[in-house]
């Protein structure tokens, strides 16, 4: 199945790079009916699934075809006499769906279930019969697909239909694989339905199934579904794009010549590679035309380079950028940082001496298979040591026990979590579409070493609910990469986040959290809490923070001495240096010398404006003043406990400032007189040991 067919009506189901040499191109729309006209001997593989068997053997040469034969015979006999709305025998539908999956490389169990996916719903065949004949694994998948199909696809039922589909998919992604192939074949034959029904099905396909295909990495299905939806929902733009492609077909195409040049460069460099020209599909051409205006010949396709190893990908990239002029802005490395849907490739663009710009994709053959087939290429997630498709894995031994597909992507796990909390189908539908619109995912690390998968743009609030569930209502702050930050702070890929929970069980979120929550789980949980606490929802929970009042020592330099006779020495209040800090002095107005720690940002500013530098050293006396910031959870008697801890260390409190609480957190500023600067680390440890205090730092 090609992910980039230039004509969606042609539907080139067989991918050239995956077909055996000499194998003919297949037309799935005509395959089933034509095959049924041939002989169907009961003592050999039926001719009707000969193409399915051939496609399956191309990926799995040692597959047991007898299982497919038995599945086809049961499906054909069960559906005998049933017709599709197009007038074709109904068996053509499961055959076409199965061939789609076979071309993608699905394993035998998936193909067996695909042949049988409508038998339990539409015929007298029962799940017990399927289990007895084909084993628990096939039965489990057929049951999952049946549960999806039992709901009427009316406008009101659509949200609940897809909720059930997600639940079934979460247990085994092969259920979704069959559902996507089923929808693709139905979209191909949608012309027999009324225009309004075509539009409704196309909209649902656009809003949910195409994003799901993208997230499962099944690009071969996704791109053809896009073209079919495009033709139904935007017929005028579709015809305009068709005219563009038809006009290009009559012109000289520069891409084959560029591909020949790439082959020559790689051959001379000793890199074994297969170079192909990949035509863009209709929607891709339409998008390029809208963004670039007038199209040139090289805009109608891309060059694909397939190699054997990961290292060869970068070798190809080096040769391309050496022998052609690279377009640096077009370079993307999805090998080092794969997409959330398993996709890996190098993307670049090169300019030729003739002025053409050609986009180039470089990947290994295994990457190509995964890029086309996504989760279908992962095979059976419950495979046992033996290749027997009817073997019963441990996960399926108890039909009442929930099992989780080990290949299930993180985003799908999140969907399954929050869909249970969605209060009604309309909310579920709205949030589902918003979630699927997120096309990029980030990974952040938890303080305990685990990871969280979140959509791009997620904040600390989203991380809190992803990690702690409803306990995140009491979250009051976070550390990101070791630095304290607010819950509204957005996260980046690779960040380490430590979430801080309040000790007060009555703590809860504010309405402002909804402005920063991106994940459905967080938004639904916050909304439900606010609905159950209307008094808190109406109140303003974030108090304005008073200006930070740091009391520095500007009247004297304590035990700091400047190498400038009779100069007044002042310790900077911005960084409060103490012995044995490395310091720098600068001459300011009035002939005074202000002393900063070397790390203070003011040092660079002083030098930038040309302030005179003055050497400064510490006296032998050890006493000093310092300003400390303490951040804590709000609780009674906190100020008393902190000042008591300071007094136990023999330190004098010169001044103290306590700011209004913000999101349950309190910030204290202390200016302290220490008898010995060496006691500063012990003092800070003593303050951190006070219950509720989670950070003490120098001002």
- Which sequence positions are flagged as catalytic? 121-122
Mention every residue, 6+ apart, whose C-beta is less than 8 A from residue 659: 545, 546, 548, 666, 667, 668, 669
Tokens (6 digits) for 652: 């004098």
Distance of CA 618 to the CA centre of its chain: 55
How many Cα atoms within 13 Å fall on the side-chain side of residue 287? 10
3-state secondary structure of 625: strand
Task: Report residue 519 as tokens.
Answer: 């994940």
Asked if residues 278 and 4 have their Cβ atoms less than 8 Å apart, the reply is yes
Q: Are 670 and 646 in contact (CB under 8 A)?
A: yes
545, 490, 531, 511: which is closest to 665 by C-alpha?
545
Which pair of tokens denotes residue 483? 């630095």
Q: Name the CA dihedral angle for 75, 79, 84, 87, rounded to a multiple of 10 degrees.
A: 110
List alpha helices for 339-487, DSSP H: 365-373, 410-419, 425-436, 460-468
The Cα 211–Cα 203 span in angstroms is: 12
If we measure between CA atoms, which residue out of 685, 688, 654 comes closest to residue 669?
Answer: 654
**What ranges in 250-380 are assigned the alpha helix state H?**
255-268, 282-292, 310-323, 365-373
**Which residues share a beta bridge with 477?**
500
CA distance linking residue 136 with residue 150, whole number of Å: 21
In which residue are the tokens 């010949």 written? 297
Q: What is the longest distance spanned by two Cα atoms in the chain?
A: 112
DSSP lists the bridge partners of residue 673 as: 625, 652
Distance CA 136, CA 285 (A): 45
Locate all alpha helices (DSSP H) within 533-672, ordered by sequence: 534-538, 601-608, 638-648
Instruction: With beta carbons less than 8 A apart as the criterion, state whether 509 and 530 touch.
Output: yes
Contact 485, 665 (CB under 8 A): no
Token pair in block for residue 225: 């579904």
What counts of helices (H) and strands (E) characterise the chain?
26, 21
> Could you tell me if 574 and 552 are in contact, meaning their C-beta atoms sit under 8 angstroms apart?
yes
- 474/241 Cα distance (integer angstroms): 54
Helix runs in 350-424, H state only: 365-373, 410-419
């Amino acid at each position: 199945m090609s992910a980039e067919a230039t004509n969606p009506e042609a539907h080139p189901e067989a991918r050239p790079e995956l077909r055996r040499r000499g194998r003919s191109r297949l037309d799935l729309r005509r395959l089933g009916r034509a095959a049924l006209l041939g002989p169907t001997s009961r003592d050999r593989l039926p001719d009707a699934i000969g193409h399915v068997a051939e496609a399956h053997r191309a990926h799995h040469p040692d597959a047991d075809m007898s299982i497919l034969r038995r599945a086809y015979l049961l499906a054909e006999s069960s559906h005998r006499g049933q017709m599709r709305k197009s007038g074709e025998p109904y068996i053509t539908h499961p055959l076409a769906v199965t061939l789609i999956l076979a071309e993608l490389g699905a394993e035998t169990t998936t193909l067996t279930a695909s042949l049988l996916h409508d038998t339990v719903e539409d015929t007298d065949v029962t799940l017990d019969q399927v289990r007895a004949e084909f084993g628990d694994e096939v039965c489990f998948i057929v049951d999952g697909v049946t549960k999806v199909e039992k709901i009427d696809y009316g406008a009101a039922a659509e949200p609940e239909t897809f909720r059930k589909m997600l639940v079934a998919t979460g247990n085994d992604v092969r259920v979704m694989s069959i559902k996507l192939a089923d929808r693709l074949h139905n979209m191909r034959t949608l012309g027999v339905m009324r225009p309004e029904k075509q539009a409704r099905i196309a909209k649902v396909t656009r809003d949910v199934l195409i994003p799901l295909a993208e997230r499962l990495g099944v690009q071969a299905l996704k791109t053809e579904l896009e073209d079919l939806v495009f033709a139904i929902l935007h017929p005028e733009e579709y015809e305009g794009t068709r005219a563009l492609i038809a006009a290009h077909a009559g012109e000289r195409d520069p891409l084959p010549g560029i591909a020949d040049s790439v082959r020559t460069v790689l051959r001379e460099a000793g890199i074994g590679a297969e170079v192909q020209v990949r035509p863009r599909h209709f929607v891709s051409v339409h998008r390029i035309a809208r963004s670039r205006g007038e199209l040139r010949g090289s805009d109608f396709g891309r060059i694909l380079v397939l190699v054997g190893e990961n290292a060869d990908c970068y070798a190809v990239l080096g040769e391309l950028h050496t022998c052609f002029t690279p377009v640096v802005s077009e370079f993307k490395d999805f090998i080092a940082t794969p997409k959330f849907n398993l996709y890996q490739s190098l993307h670049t663009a090169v300019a030729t001496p003739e002025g053409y710009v050609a986009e180039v994709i470089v990947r290994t053959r295994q990457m190509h298979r995964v890029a086309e087939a996504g989760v279908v290429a992962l095979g059976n997630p419950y495979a046992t040591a033996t290749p027997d498709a009817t073997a019963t894995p441990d996960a399926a031994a108890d039909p009442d026990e929930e099992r989780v597909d080990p290949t299930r992507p993180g985003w799908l796990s999140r969907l399954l979590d929050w869909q249970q909390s969605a209060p009604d189908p309309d909310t579920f539908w709205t949030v589902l579409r918003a979630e699927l619109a997120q096309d990029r995912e980030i990974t952040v690390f938890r303080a305990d070493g685990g990871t969280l998968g979140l959509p791009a743009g997620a904040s600390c609030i989203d991380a809190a609910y992803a990690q702690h569930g409803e306990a995140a209502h009491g979250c009051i702050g976070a550390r990101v990469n070791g630095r304290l930050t607010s819950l509204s702070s957005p996260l980046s890929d690779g960040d380490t986040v430590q979430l801080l929970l309040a000790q007060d069980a009555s703590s809860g979120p504010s309405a402002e959290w909804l402005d920063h929550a991106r994940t459905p789980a967080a938004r639904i949980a916050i909304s439900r809490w606010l609905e159950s606490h209307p008094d808190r929802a109406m109140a303003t929970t974030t108090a304005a923070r008073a200006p930070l009042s740091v009391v520095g020592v500007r009247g004297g330099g304590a035990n700091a001495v400047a190498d400038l006779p009779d100069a007044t020495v002042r310790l900077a209040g911005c960084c409060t240096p103490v012995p044995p800090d490395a310091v720098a002095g600068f001459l300011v107005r009035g002939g005074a010398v202000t002393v900063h720690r070397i790390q203070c940002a003011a040092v660079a500013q002083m030098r930038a404006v040309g302030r005179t530098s003055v050497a400064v050293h510490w006296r032998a006396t050890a006493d000093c003043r310092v300003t400390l910031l303490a951040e804590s959870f709000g609780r009674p008697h906190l100020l008393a406990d902190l000042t008591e801890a300071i007094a136990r260390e023999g330190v004098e409190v010169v001044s103290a400032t306590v700011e209004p609480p913000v999101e349950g957190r309190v910030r204290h500023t202390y200016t302290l007189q220490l008898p010995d600067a060496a006691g500063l680390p012990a003092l800070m440890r003593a303050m951190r040991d006070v219950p509720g205090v989670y950070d003490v730092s120098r001002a």
